[in-house]
Amino acid sequence: MIFSILDLIRKKRDQQELTSEEIFRLVEGVVMDAIPDYQLSAFLMAIYFAGMTPGETALLTAAMAVSGDQLDLGHIAIPKVDKHSTGGVGDKVSLVLAPVVAACGAAVPMISGRGLGHTGGTVDKLESIPGFRTDLSLAETAQLVQKIGVAMAAQTERLAPADRKLYALRGVTATVESLPLITASILSKKFAEDLDALVMDIKVGNGAFMKTLPDARALASSIRAVAVANGLRCQTLITRMDAPLGRRIGNWLEVCEAVRMLRGQEQPPLIFQVTIALAAACLTAAGIASSHEEGVARATAAITDGSGYQVFLRMVEEQGGDVRAVESAIEPPPDEIILSDRSGWIAEIDAMQLGLMAIEAGAGRKILSEPIDHEAGIILYRHVGEYVEQGQPLCGVVIRRNAAAINPAELRAAFRIAEHPQPATEIVVERN
């Protein structure tokens, strides 16, 4: 068979199904850098509009999973579990969950990504810790997981390398929200992690890639189907992303908030609830807890007794990070404070808008080559359900570059203020 990327672009454009050989040859071409970015971008856009069949999605996932090296954790006797989120604003769940779950007796080989679109990336957050290494080799990751129970690393050059290339292109070609591409991207890396179990956090709402509950359910179903078909135990939670998680948006700001959570000093309602629920799911999926209630109790205890925080500090030390900087967790002061123009109850906070504004402040990338300012971000002084007086602060912005890009009126407009308090909604929508 003569391979032609142009033929594949044309076939997907015309909603035709690709064969197994075509998909594996495509992935091989991606890994070999034999396909120009402009043609891969066209192919991704064709998938975005035409979709893929379940069979195509499973084949793409499998091809990407075996496109490079794989993590070998066969020598680790305890259950190996990971959590992955589809991405949100202010989502620092992994920073708390990974050491907490490890403190409860699981092995957590967490290989994470960088910021994608308006959402932050766990790797970017970790790299805001001075000296912290996320560029671990697979051997180093395995050794660290065996030694302390957890490692948090970036995707290596050789782990699912096809995904590494496609993931980067998706972020700058407006093709992030494609269900088959999301499924293949997530699970190709997880299949390569040598896991016993996986917990998926599917975000839904205005700040998520899945805007509606039917879309979130479709992704959860797709993830479970492809995972189970390949022998990986998988639980999915659908959680709300209509407002930022926690009170900090931005890399170092979120690390500081996560540290305070691990110490038990703060329990911001939305972020704390979803973190404990996902940690409990990890413990039940791994067989460490026999019920969701037991998982919640054990995860909460790992925060209360400080064992999760101690695991986090040890991970920082083992991965070259400055432990003293983490222990002090000093936040930069805001360069601009946005005041409320009215009194009332915070009914909504537009997570998408604040995520985009955080990028403008320097906390994220618009193009692949753009550097990140790890200190930049947004501090929320009022959150959903809280009362604010006219003239009181809504949020502060830490800006270290391009300050002119920040429009106070746009930030203020992200907060919807009502005359009366609004009924609270559960952040965990469904568990399957």
Q: Verify whether residue 194 is a known catalytic residue.
A: no
What is d(CA 397, CA 375) in angstroms, rounded to the nearest whole number? 10
Which tokens belong to 296? 């919640």
Catalytic residue among 82, 124, 163, 201: 163
- Residue 142 CA to residue 4 CA, distance in Å, equals 38
CB 349 within 8 A of CB 384: yes
User: Can you say whether the dihedral through the CA atoms of 13, 19, 20, 21 is positive or negative?
Assistant: negative
Tell me if residue 319 falls in helix, strand or coil.
coil
Tell me which of 83, 84, 118, 298 is the catalytic residue.
84
Which residue of the set 67, 178, 185, 222 is catalytic? 185
Q: Is 83 a catalytic residue?
A: no
170 is catalytic: yes
- 84 is known as an active-site residue: yes
Beta bridge partners of 285: none
User: Residue 161 in contact with residue 31, Cβ under 8 Å?
Assistant: yes
Walk across the sheet containing 415-418 and list its strands. Answer: 387-388, 344-349, 415-418
Q: Which of 121, 90, 125, 174 is nearest to 351 (CA)?
A: 90
CA distance 234 to 89: 24
420 noted as active-site residue: no
Q: Which of 170, 217, 382, 383 is catalytic?
A: 170
Task: Identify the active-site residue in 189, 247, 374, 383.
Answer: 189
Residues with catalytic annotation? 84, 163, 170, 185, 189
